[in-house]
Structure 1
């Protein structure tokens, strides 16, 4: 059962957010005070604080925000949420099926984002993000409403995107799935850059990727008993 479920305690979800941030560092897809994590809770979401390294996080540092919090910068008390709280709020508001958002500054994916490039269908696992590419959203200043607006568009019909000159956003029904996808995006970017040393990587056709997306939609689904 997902720790995002209604039966989970808030303390358990806060601990899972902390563990997710630490796992991002262990996997090498985040570092320092970069990156952030959120998970849906009640009528809002829990999100990592601003400017705190993963090693210094604990359950009490995680901040709860309502989904209807205003876009204009509110006055926060000493527990300030991540500066990227706007895109967490807007994604969770726009995508009711999503339970968690993971944002990283992983190296290979960020390198592609610096060039403003989508990750194309060089490997069938690109379909794990929901389509025939992982889009790169246009650049906007970190923490801005413009960045959030660009991210929401890039994530239409997708569960991952790049942010130009910035990093990666990965979504999931729970923290485990979102973290897995964030790491998978980095692996795909590494593969693409390595293949590019041999020339422009060939890509799968839209028809081939549509078949993979359809198969993924049934992956692990057991038929109901009559």
Structure 2
């Protein structure tokens, strides 16, 4: 992305933010979304509800979080900036308050490797970042730690966050972690899920690379 793409990026963010709301990944004014735009970041505004956000509402900041132009950025700006700094390849970040993720995050435990698609996130589980108050630098640090070698994580007593090398990829992982969280809750009701081994996850990733499987 370059600064010349800003109108297009704003349109993409608007569509993606509405998608999150329509699919139950955000409720009311919860959750936030951002994308790189050249050397700048475009992020959803503070207190914004998905269905009502227009392209011009997204707030532009520099890499240090200073607003470029008007508007007040999301209270979770620190978290987004920390991920962009820690992962230079990241192009978008999506933070959700989806129901199954919130339920599991309240237990402060990772989603274990009950399904092979857990392997698509980079490891054998989806970690849970330690709790810290929303909007704080401490929460941002906790999230970056939990995202080591991972595409997404839960946030203890809070929600979930995902990043990607494109906005579409970040949305895919944000939605996938909610689907897996819901399926894990169902599996726990049926009994004790059998977890895949590290070797089985490596086998999955090898197969996914061969077949170009997302």
User: What band does the TM-score fall into relative to the shorter chain?
Assistant: over 0.9
Structure 2 residue 161 is matched with structure 1 residue 161: no
| Higher helix fraction (1 or 2) | 2
Give me the TM-score of the superposition, normalised by structure 1: 0.89
Do 1:132 and 1:210's aligned partners in 2 also have CA atoms closer than 8 Å? no
Q: Tell me the matched-pair count.
A: 213
Gap regions ≥5 residues in structure 2:
none
Counterpart in 1 of 2:19? 23
* Equivalent in the alignment of 1:177: 169
**3-state SS of the aligned residue for 1:200?**
coil
- Asked if 1:96 corresponds to 2:92, the answer is no
**Would you identify which runs of 4 or more consecutive aligned residues in structure 1 move more than 4 Å?**
74-78
Q: CA RMSD in A?
A: 1.9
Match of 2:41 in 1: 45
Say which is worse superposed, 173-182 or 74-83, in terms of deviation.
74-83
Q: Deviations over 1:114-137 (max 9, x none)?
A: 000101100000111111100000
Q: Give the secondary structure class of the aligned counterpart of 1:38.
A: strand
Which of 53, 60, 64 is equivalent to 1:64? 60
1:77-116 Cα shifts (integer Å, max 9, x gaps): 8610000000100101110111100010000111000000
Checking the alignment, whether the CA contact within 8 Å between 2:39 and 2:62 is kept in structure 1 is yes
What CA distance in whole angstroms lies between the structure 2 residues aligned with 1:8 and 1:27? 31
Give the distance between the partners of 1:183 and 1:25, measured in 2 at CA.
Answer: 11
Gaps spanning 5+ residues in structure 1: where? 222-226
Distance across 2 between alignment mates of 1:207 and 1:18: 40
Could you tell me which residue of structure 1 aligns to residue 71 of structure 2? 79
